[in-house]
Structure formats: structure tokens, C-alpha cells
Structure 1
Amino acid sequence: MRMDRLRHDRRRQAGRSLVEIMVALAIAAVILAAILITVSGTGLSGRRYDAQARLNDEGQVALSLMNRHLRMAGFWIPGSPVQSLDSEDMLRGCRNGFNNPTAANFANLSCASGAGNDAIAVRYDGRQPGITPTDCLGASAGIPADGWVDNRFYIAQSPSTGNPALYCRGNGGGGPEALVDNVEAMRIQYGIAAQGTLSDDPVVFDPPAYGGRTVRYLNADSIASCASGSTPANSWCAVTSIRVCLLMRTEDGAADEPNTPYIDCDGNTTSQADRRIRRAMVTTISLRNRTSVSAP
């Protein structure tokens, strides 16, 4: 009887040990799964944060480059002789891009029809004492002796990456080049000053045709030409500032899920069927030298 009880007790002890092992294995499996999930989530979060940081950096670089050149629109060296034969405007914008962004002459730029990204072109005197004038690409060989710098900014697909990019075409020599990759869209609005009294027909290097604070922002297709002797209120002669919005995006796979919502440059909340993170980045550029037009 006693031997039977001992054998029974051993079986009970063996059973409890097996259950304990199974429970321990189950707990270990749960802990391991939690660790794997945490590590995986940390990796995804790290990639997302890195992608967002790069997006922000590239957006700031793009806006800084545009700011540097756009604010110079119409600049000329004080004391320089007026070039009365110069018949080109200092600022030109198109709502849907340029038909010919690489046109040899500023005056030959024309606007495209249909949907597209905005484009903008500026001219200014790049001469400074002891400094060789350069364009937006840092080139100087093709800039004329009078120092006029001609830069055009627009969005195009990069053949090397296949991504949309911010391009610039300068007149310093060579063709257009991509400045910043993954710039999906560009929208530009122009700040218009309040209408004032014209002191004289506006000509190149004259003071601004209209003075006063900025009262509204218009798209390029709502701004009238600025012809000598006939200067509408909503004209290029009244532009005091430029508001630039760039829609930046990351590489695919940065977002945790597809169809990540974002607010575009037109203020609309939308999404796309990929796993990119998008952000609209905006800056307002005050023109140091108000745009004026050529003498008749």
C-alpha cells in the first residue's frame, strides 16, 4: 500500500513539473513575441523618423535656395547707368509651368496650358565689387558682361532617380539641373501692393509703380502685364512678395500604412495609394527690389 502511494505521489510530482515547463514555455513565447514586436516597431519608427528628418532638411534647402535668388528680382548696382535698351521684365511666373523653361531669352518664356506645377523666373544684376556673378547653379561663364543673372525654377522628373525634383536653369552656362529631389509639387502666389498714384511711367530701374503694404495674394494667371503707360493694379509692377509652397515627399515605404493623409499646397486634405510621407512647406519672400518694366 505504501509503495503504491509513493508511485502515485511521484506521478503527481512529474505531472506538475510538466505543467510548469509548459507554462514557462508559454510565458517565454509571449515575452519573445513582445520583444520582437517592440524591436520591429522601433525599426519602423526609426526609419519613419529618419525619413521625416530628411524630408524636412531637403524642404528647407529647397526653400532657402529659392529665397536667395527670388528676393533679388530686379536688383541693380546703385550708381550703375540705366540700360535703356533692356526690354525685359524682372519677374515672370506661370500657373502651369513654362512651355520652354530652357528658352535662350527671358522674354521668350511662355506659359503652358492645362494642369501642371507653377514655375517662376527672375532677373537681377549679379555684379558686386570683387565678386564674379553666378547663377542658381553656381556657374558664371555664360553670364553677359553687364552682369544680368537669369534663373528659372520649375518641377520636372529627374532622369537619374525617376522622382519629381526642383530644377533650376540659369544663364551661367550648361543646361538645367535638379537642385532637390522628391519635390512633388510647387505652388506660387504673388503679394500685390495697394494701388497708389503713379508718379511717372514705370521703366527699368524706376521705383515701384505701386507702393504700400501687401493687400492680397494672386496666382500668376491673375496678374496682368506691366506695360509702360498702362499699369493695371493687379500687375507685375505691384508685386511686393512671393509665397512659395513646395510639396515634399519621402521615398516609398517610409509611412507605416498606405494612403497616409496630408494637406497639399492648395489646403486640401488628400492621400495617395503609396507609403510615402508628404508635407507642404511654405515660405514668404519679400522682394528687395520691386518689379518694374522696360522703357518704351
Structure 2
Amino acid sequence: MRMNSNNMSLVRPISRQRGLTLVELMVGLVIGIVISLAASALYLATRESSRAAQGHTDINETGKIALDMIGRELQKAGFYPAQFTTPSDVAHSGRYYNPTTYAAFTYGLSGCDDKAYDPATHACSSTTTTGDTVIISYFSSPEFGTSSLLGNTNDCNRQAVSGDSVNTPLAAASMPLFVSNRFGLSGLVTYTAPDGSTVSTRNLTCQGNGADSTAPQSMIQGVDDLVIRYGVSAGNGVQSPTAFRPATGASGVTSLSTTSDGLNPWQRVTAVSVCIEVRSMDNNRLEDKSGSERTYVNCRGSTITPTDKYLHKVFTRVFAVRNNLNAVGTF
């Protein structure tokens, strides 16, 4: 029987199959592992750099906002609308005055060194804490009404100062209302960071006379220290500060005497230096190029080498006390 040649042409020879050798397989696996490790290392480095950059951004924003918040109030210290006659002294129309019986409000500025403000006694607390407290007082512009957000008729917590009993007769007479804001630091507060770690830090707080009986409200987290120094002029027509002093103590503002032109030490405060120490809320501190731990100088002049993994930064700004910059004083 003859086979058809056409059918035989359809039969293809079976090709010889060949696989990878063990060496080739191992080389391929090693190359894959190296590429994976390189990609992982790049990802981790990028993530840490990104976290550090975000941490720097966060503390810069925190520092700026905190200084702006305190600075706006400092520039109002001792304000009284010029078009109104001061009830306590008609001869000094438009001058700040103390509508209460508390010494903390005698002038537009007052302060506590490493102590909180005690609303029960309207004075500095006897308990030592971390961070200073500054007490800023002024009067509102009543033409906007007592319920408006304009005209400074609300304290730093957006509480209407008409709620303060001292303002009851002033509101009834459509007179400027007394405003008093006190900035300081809270005790240690513990937070849970995005990476799951716990962070203990202090907060910038403020308490206003719109709700004197309530505790100070936290405004900004991550503020570890607050140091206030008051620039006191020599008086007698000189307005430039001769020294920046703490509020109390042997070298404090309260240790100075009244000048021959009748200006009290607090009346001669023409500038205020505010220093805050801010820390990040995340573990993201980087070493310097030599591999050493980064140091910083805190608000009290000490060089600090952090023992934690957080970013620390100090911000300082000097604010003019505008309502005390004239030849005869204002409050």
C-alpha cells in the first residue's frame, strides 16, 4: 500500500523542548530580588524624606500662626477708642483704664513668668508651670454692636465679652466694652500620631473674659515652650526699649520704678518679644550630613540635643505696643 506523499508532508517532526538550568533560574531570582530591594529602599527613603519635609512644613505653619495670633492681640494692648470719653477720667479722653478692681488689668499689658493666669483670683497662679502667660487688655469699638464679630467685641475664643459682668453697665450706656485675653500653655496632652505612636506635648491656649469661668481653650497643638520678654523704655520722652525683661523677679518689669514723668514700668513697655518652641507631631527627625544628632537653641538660650525623634524649632518675633508709642504714654 502506497502512502500519499501529500499526507506525509503534513506530519511535522517533534521539536526538542529545552528548559532553564538551575543556574539560570537562580540568577533570575537574584536579579528579581535585587530589583525589589532597590525599589523598596527607594520607596522608604522617599517616604521618610516626604515625612520630614511635611514635618518641617507643619511646624513652620504652627510657628507662624501662633506668633500671628499673639501678635495681633499685642498690637491692640491698651487700646481705647479716641471718640469716647474715658469714664474714669474725663480729662484723659480716649485713654485705656481699668474698669475692674484687679491689678492684672491696671494696664493694657501684664504677665506671669512660668505661671498660668488664675481666673479665680485674676492674678498669676502660685504653681510653677512650663511657659509664660501674657495678659492683654483693651476696649472694643461699640459702633458695630455687641454681637458683631467686628469691632473686637469678642474674646480670643469668640465669646462675646458682653457676658463679663464688668461690661454690663458699659453695654447699657453704649460705651466701649472691656476685652481681656490671656495666652499661655496647657499641661502635657497625649495624642496618637498617624503612625500609631503616642505624642505628649503642650498646646498654646487662650482664655478670654467672655467666659471667665471656663478653662483656657487649646488653640494650637505642638507648642512646647512660650517665653515672653517685655521691652521697657527709659521714659521721659524716650520710647526705644533699653532692655527686654521678664514680667517679674529681680530684673523683671515689676521691679522697676515710676519715672519722673509719671510713667509706670508697664506704661513704658513699647515692644514685646515672643519666643515659642514648636515640635512636630510625628517621628520624622533626620540626622545632619555627618550623621550627628541635630541640636537647637531653645527660647531660654540653652543648646539642646533632642533625645526623641521629633523635629524641634524655635520662632521669635518682636511686636510693637502701638498704643504706648507716644511721648506721654497711653495706659
TM-score, reference length from structure 2: 0.69
One-letter amino acid of the structure 2 residue matched with residue 156 of structure 1: S
2:257/2:264 contact within 8 Å kept: no
Distance 2:297 2:314 in 1: 7
One-letter amino acid of the structure 2 residue matched with residue 235 of structure 1: P
In the alignment, structure 1 residue 185 sits paired with structure 2 residue 203: no
One-letter amino acid of the structure 1 residue matched with residue 163 of structure 2: G
Larger of the two Rg values belongs to structure = 2
Distance 1:229 1:40 in 2: 64
Residue equivalent to 1:152: 182
Match of 1:124, SS state, is strand
Residue equivalent to 1:49: 53
For residues 23-55 of structure 1, the C-alpha deviation after alignment (integer angstroms, 9 at most, x for no partner) is: 443333222211111101111121222222122
RMSD of aligned Cα (Å) = 3.2
* Pick aligned residue for 1:165 from 203, 213, 228: 203
In the alignment, structure 1 residue 137 sits paired with structure 2 residue 141: no
Offset at residue 279 of structure 1 (A): 0.7
Match of 1:62, SS state, is helix
Match of 2:36, SS state, is helix
Offset at residue 117 of structure 1 (A): 1.1
Offset at residue 111 of structure 1 (A): 5.5
* Pick aligned residue for 1:217 from 219, 244, 247: 244
Offset at residue 115 of structure 1 (A): 6.1
Q: How many residues get paired?
A: 264
Offset at residue 226 of structure 1 (A): 7.3
In the alignment, structure 1 residue 285 sits paired with structure 2 residue 319: yes
Residue equivalent to 1:62: 66
For residues 254-282 of structure 1, the C-alpha deviation after alignment (integer angstroms, 9 at most, x for no partner) is: 22579653331123321332211111111
For residues 211-261 of structure 1, the C-alpha deviation after alignment (integer angstroms, 9 at most, x for no partner) is: 332332222222136777878999222111111011111114222579653
2:133/2:184 contact within 8 Å kept: yes
Offset at residue 62 of structure 1 (A): 1.2
Residue equivalent to 1:244: 274
Once structures 1 and 2 are overlaid, which stretch shifts more, 41-50 or 252-261?
252-261
* Pick aligned residue for 1:121 from 127, 135, 143: 135
Distance 1:220 1:30 in 2: 63
For residues 72-99 of structure 1, the C-alpha deviation after alignment (integer angstroms, 9 at most, x for no partner) is: 110000032123275422210122123x
TM-score, reference length from structure 1: 0.77
One-letter amino acid of the structure 1 residue matched with residue 180 of structure 2: D
Distance 1:27 1:263 in 2: 48
Distance 1:232 1:30 in 2: 80
One-letter amino acid of the structure 2 residue matched with residue 250 of structure 1: S
Unpaired runs of at least 5, structure 2: 1-18, 90-96, 99-105, 147-152, 171-175, 192-199
Once structures 1 and 2 are overlaid, which stretch shifts more, 109-118 or 45-54?
109-118
* Structure-2 change in CA distance of 1:44 and 1:229 (3 Å): closer
Among all aligned residue pairs of Structure 1 and Structure 2, give the percentage whose two residues are the same amino acid.
25
Distance 2:235 2:58 in 1: 45
Higher relative CO (CA 8 A, sep ≥ 6), structure 1 or 2?
1
In the alignment, structure 1 residue 102 sits paired with structure 2 residue 119: yes
